[in-house]
Amino acid sequence: MSAPERIPPRGGVTRSGSCAEADGSGEERSGADTAAVHDLLAHGELTVRGQVREASNAVLLCTVERDGRRADCVYKPVAGERPLWDFPDGNLARREVAAYELSRATGWDLVPPTVLRDGPYGEGMCQLWVDSDPEAELLALVEDEEPGPGWKGICFAEVGEGRTALLVHADDPRLRRLAVLDAVINNGDRKGGHLLSTPGGGLYAIDHGVTFNAEDKLRTLLWGWAGEPLTGEALTVLRRLGADLAEGGGLAGRLAELVTLAETAAVRDRVEALLRSGRHPEPGGQWPAIPWPPV
């Protein structure tokens, strides 16, 4: 079997700087730390330092400062969102915040702290910057029909000169949790560049504007577990989410402030469907299963 050709994190995009000044480690935070980060992101002074030009919507790299605390962050103003035919205009920033809220409710904390706030270009989402590990091995290409131990095959990809290779993702419990989260939020755009493995061993996922649609939109690179039984951990988390999404539940109330009532109900329906099947979802066949470009 040929050795995997590693695909770098963040689609090859890197940046210096760290969120360590905000939360100490960039990894697991206590409740007090999380509250402090939220306060900094929501109320700190935003200063624009640059822009991610290859992004489809306006993505501004900023620093945020308050009471002697400082962090790097990403600010996506609503004014910079491109209209989409299947999502309400000016609503992507709220979906990013909704994805963070649901991630927090799972206890997995797979999405960096994200708030909705006013900024230099109006209302938008503000998310703590997370540095990625340039040596992380989450995606790879292998020129074999079988991915081998530690990898899950996704699809074949052209690699030039008439050659194809199997695009694979790591058989990693962190990614498996993310696959469950994506199924719940109905992520229509889970690309490889959205996966951030941190130097401390954590995993974060970014770019959740195309989520929470009431219709099935799931497009992802994390199909490696499709049809397999959900883990006991995932089933426990889904049962907890179901209770929190019930009428009067705290999560249901938070989502209703960010997405439509129909979309909030659809989240509840997806959780119930996962619990009934007890398995990871499979591509439905009525929507492209893998986003383009995939990385």
∠277-278-283 over CA atoms, to 5°?
A: 65
Question: Average pLDDT for residues 89-117, to the nearest whole number?
Answer: 95
Q: Is the pLDDT of residue 134 over 90?
A: no
Per-residue model confidence (pLDDT) at position 230: 98
Taking the C-alpha atoms of residue 202 and residue 28, their distance in angstroms, rounded to an integer, is 8
* CB atoms inside a 10 Å sphere around CB 117: 17
Per-residue model confidence (pLDDT) at position 53: 82
Q: Are the beta carbons of 66 and 21 closer than 8 angstroms? A: no
Question: Average pLDDT for residues 119-137, to the nearest whole number?
Answer: 93
Q: Is the pLDDT of residue 8 over 80?
A: no
Closest by CA position to 288, among listed 228, 226, 217? 217
Q: Is the pLDDT of residue 12 over 60?
A: no
Taking the C-alpha atoms of residue 275 and residue 279, their distance in angstroms, rounded to an integer, is 8
Question: Average pLDDT for residues 192-217, to the nearest whole number?
Answer: 93
Q: Is the pLDDT of residue 14 over 50?
A: no
CA 113 to chain centre: 11
Region of poorest pLDDT, from 77-91, 239-253, 275-289: 77-91
Per-residue model confidence (pLDDT) at position 20: 35
Question: Average pLDDT for residues 36-58, to the nearest whole number?
Answer: 92
Question: Average pLDDT for residues 142-160, to the nearest whole number?
Answer: 83
Q: Is the pLDDT of residue 25 over 70?
A: no
Closest by CA position to 119, among listed 14, 42, 34? 42
Q: Which amino acid is at 157?
A: A
Per-residue model confidence (pLDDT) at position 15: 38
Per-residue model confidence (pLDDT) at position 285: 76
Q: Is the pLDDT of residue 187 over 80?
A: yes
pLDDT confidence tier of residue 4, bands split at 50, 70 and 90: low
Question: Average pLDDT for residues 241-262, to the nearest whole number?
Answer: 93
Q: Provide the β-strand partners of residue 7.
A: 139
Greater confidence (75 vs 53) lies with 75
Q: Which amino acid is at 37?
A: V
Question: Average pLDDT for residues 18-31, to the nearest whole number?
Answer: 46
Q: Which distant-in-sequence residues (6+ apart) come within 8 Å of 245 by Cβ? A: 251, 252, 255, 264, 267, 268, 271
- The stretches of the chain forming alpha helices (DSSP H) are 20-23, 31-43, 92-106, 173-185, 232-245, 250-256, 261-277
pLDDT confidence tier of residue 70, bands split at 50, 70 and 90: very high
pLDDT confidence tier of residue 142, bands split at 50, 70 and 90: confident
Q: For the chain, give the mean pLDDT.
A: 87
Q: HSE of 247 in the Cβ direction (CA atoms, 13 Å)?
A: 1
Greater confidence (88 vs 214) lies with 214
Question: Average pLDDT for residues 16-29, to the nearest whole number?
Answer: 41
Per-residue model confidence (pLDDT) at position 90: 66
Token pair of 110 as six digits? 């797979």
Per-residue model confidence (pLDDT) at position 195: 95
Q: Is the pLDDT of residue 23 over 70?
A: no
Q: What percentage of the chain has pLDDT greater than the value 70?
A: 88
pLDDT confidence tier of residue 21, bands split at 50, 70 and 90: very low
Q: Is the pLDDT of residue 19 over 70?
A: no
Closest by CA position to 139, among listed 151, 155, 157? 151
Residue 250: φ, ψ to 5°: -65, -40
Per-residue model confidence (pLDDT) at position 288: 81
Q: Is the pLDDT of residue 243 over 60?
A: yes
Q: Which distant-in-sequence residues (6+ apart) come within 8 Å of 197 by Cβ? A: 9, 132, 133, 136, 138, 174, 203
* Residue position matching structure tokens 């990809």: 157
User: DSSP E strands: which ranges in the chain?
Assistant: 5-7, 45-51, 60-66, 69-77, 114-119, 122-128, 139-142, 151-160, 163-170, 195-197, 203-205
